[in-house]
Structure 1
Amino acid sequence: MNHETGGRFIKGGEDSLFWHLVPDTPKVKKIKSLHGREYEYAEHIGIAEYSIARYFYEADRKIKDKDAVSALKNIIKNGNKNISFFKEGLEKEIVKNLIELLDEKPVTHHELKLVIDSVLEIIGNRSWMEDEKAYLKWVAYVMDFFTEEENEEYETSIKKLAAKLGLSGKHADLILLKGDEEDYFEFVEGYGDENERDEGGERGEGEELTEEEMIAEMESKFLSMGDPEKFDFLLKNGHEFYELLGLYISELSEKGEFGKIQELYSKLTEKYDDFIYLYVFMGATYLEMDPGFAKSYFEQALRTLDKLNDLSDSTRERLKTSFLNLINKIN
């Protein structure tokens, strides 16, 4: 290991967090955030979160989210100092576990800072839950520290919170990491059905079944396509088959191919300026990793409502309320 790390020199005989890092490189220094690259640093983010969850659950149930924030900031600020500098408790728990991982999978000072920033962002993303221990409870639940009874209690509390905020059960599942990203779009699922009823009344049972079969067949064909074929198909047909567009964007997100998502978005918005589903899909994609970016897409969806002349007043108001609720929760 290089004893000169992060611009600081560690004296021989001492042990510090930064001593276990490798030197920064020009390429690494260009990384501004881990958005879209979380999978590359999953173990480092995970060990920091595991340390917090373990300390909260096994050592001190009285700490709050702000204590975790304070510990992380102090660690990255004073990581050049001997580990004895850090307080017994949460700070030392995080530092020791990070060192153990860094000895096997070292990163640079800049990368470690980005890892800490990511955890801080995850904590901040739960500040809307109106609980001083919102993150601590969530991470203890996710890291599987809770007993079966505690899991049930926590899940019940999240479902009650979701109901209070006007969110669906699927949204509650997303908070609990049980759902799929597409579930964020639940509030617009009724748009197409209601709009069709406004225009032509209820469908007959046989006709509805035929449409379902057609959709199922198209979905089957789409899933069998290669990635370039899917991309080209959606450029031509994404506005009509918006469900498949949402599925494809979710696939790209899971693979970290955000550049391709943005390319598809740019090309589709050149063709359509009222593609409300696309804005919702984009907002949901970035909701966890970049809430501010996600908010801009939901705001665009809200503005697009005024361009959709075929909406009934009731549908327009319902969607407007849903978008405003989402936007306000991100604030």
Structure 2
Amino acid sequence: MSEISNIIKKIMGEEKSKLNEIDFSGKCLASLLEPDTLEILQIDSLEDYEDEKYNCYPYIRNIESTIAIYYYFTDRKIKDIELIALLEDIKCNYEKEIDSFETVLQQLILRDVYRYAVSQPIMHHEFKLVIDYITMSIDNRSWLRDKQAYLKWITYKEDLLSEEEEAKYFKKIERFFKKYDIDMDLIDKLWMR
């Protein structure tokens, strides 16, 4: 049994993992994505285009959920900077076979995106914009001076933390805000689920 199958079973349980089994050998995400239009190619960032962000949101949500689940259940040592490198590698090489990616996390992300793209394909450039949006989100949390600021936030956002872990997380955020005299009201705005 492959490492990825073991991780899926660990996260989802034996029965649910059987329902999600697809033979990914020889499959690549690029084969499901639609050709770019001139209009889509004009977009530099999803940040400025709410309609496109809305269309791409299920992909963003899917990838972020996969990242949070992987971090929480499998690898609590991965750092935000490593995650950015993995996502950039996906963005540059998504036309490769899914199983050819080196890390389990990359394969999990691509498998989940592939499953979604079967029924709701997006264009190539939109997929790259999704990856850029997530890497920007990771970078936006770097000011917290925690090498896992994004990973901890996304795990919180996905409601995976126990009550004890959540309280510890918030206490750390509150200390940081107090240390730098940042308005405490921002916590709710920045960390809303």
TM range (shorter): 0.7 to 0.9
Is 1:96 the counterpart of 2:111? The answer is yes
TM-superposition CA deviations, 1:98-120 (whole Å, max 9, x none): 11111121101100000100001
Is 1:151 the counterpart of 2:163? The answer is no
Q: CA deviation at 1:177?
A: 1.6
CA distance in 2, matches of 1:105, 1:176: 29
2:54 is aligned to 39
1:49 equivalent among 55, 58, 64: 64
Q: CA deviation at 1:88?
A: 3.7
Q: Is there any run of 5+ residues in structure 2 with no aligned partner, and where? A: 1-24
Task: Give every structure 1 segment of 4 or more consecutive aligned residues whose post-TM-superposition deviation is greater than 4 Å.
Answer: none
**AA aligned opposite 1:29:** L
Paired residue secondary structure (1:122)? helix
CA distance in 2, matches of 1:68, 1:104: 27
**AA aligned opposite 2:70:** Y
Is 1:114 the counterpart of 2:132? The answer is no
CA distance in 1, matches of 2:171, 2:190: 12
Is 1:166 the counterpart of 2:166? The answer is no
TM-score, reference length from structure 1? 0.48
TM-score, reference length from structure 2? 0.82
Alignment of 1:188-267 (within 5 A): none
Q: CA deviation at 1:48?
A: 1.1
CA distance in 2, matches of 1:89, 1:175: 30
Q: CA deviation at 1:174?
A: 2.0
Alignment of 1:76-91 (within 5 A): 76-91=91-106
Is 1:140 the counterpart of 2:155? The answer is yes
1:20 is aligned to 32
Is 1:61 the counterpart of 2:76? The answer is yes
TM-superposition CA deviations, 1:54-102 (whole Å, max 9, x none): 1100110010001110110010111111112112421111111111111
CA distance in 2, matches of 1:33, 1:168: 29
1:227 is aligned to none
Q: CA deviation at 1:14?
A: 2.6
Q: CA deviation at 1:16?
A: 0.5
Paired residue secondary structure (1:49)? helix
Q: CA deviation at 1:147?
A: 1.0
User: Aligned residue pairs: how many?
Assistant: 166
CA distance in 2, matches of 1:67, 1:24: 29
**AA aligned opposite 2:79:** K
CA distance in 1, matches of 2:98, 2:54: 28
**AA aligned opposite 2:152:** K
2:16 is aligned to none
CA distance in 1, matches of 2:54, 2:181: 32
2:13 is aligned to none
CA distance in 2, matches of 1:120, 1:82: 22
Q: CA deviation at 1:175?
A: 2.4
CA distance in 2, matches of 1:33, 1:88: 27
Q: CA deviation at 1:17?
A: 1.3
Q: CA deviation at 1:44?
A: 0.9
**AA aligned opposite 1:19:** S
CA distance in 2, matches of 1:172, 1:109: 35
CA contact 1:155–1:176 (8 Å) conserved in 2: no
TM-superposition CA deviations, 1:166-217 (whole Å, max 9, x none): 0122012222227xxxxxxxxxxxxxxxxxxxxxxxxxxxxxxxxxxxxxxx
CA distance in 1, matches of 2:31, 2:55: 22
Q: CA RMSD in A?
A: 1.4
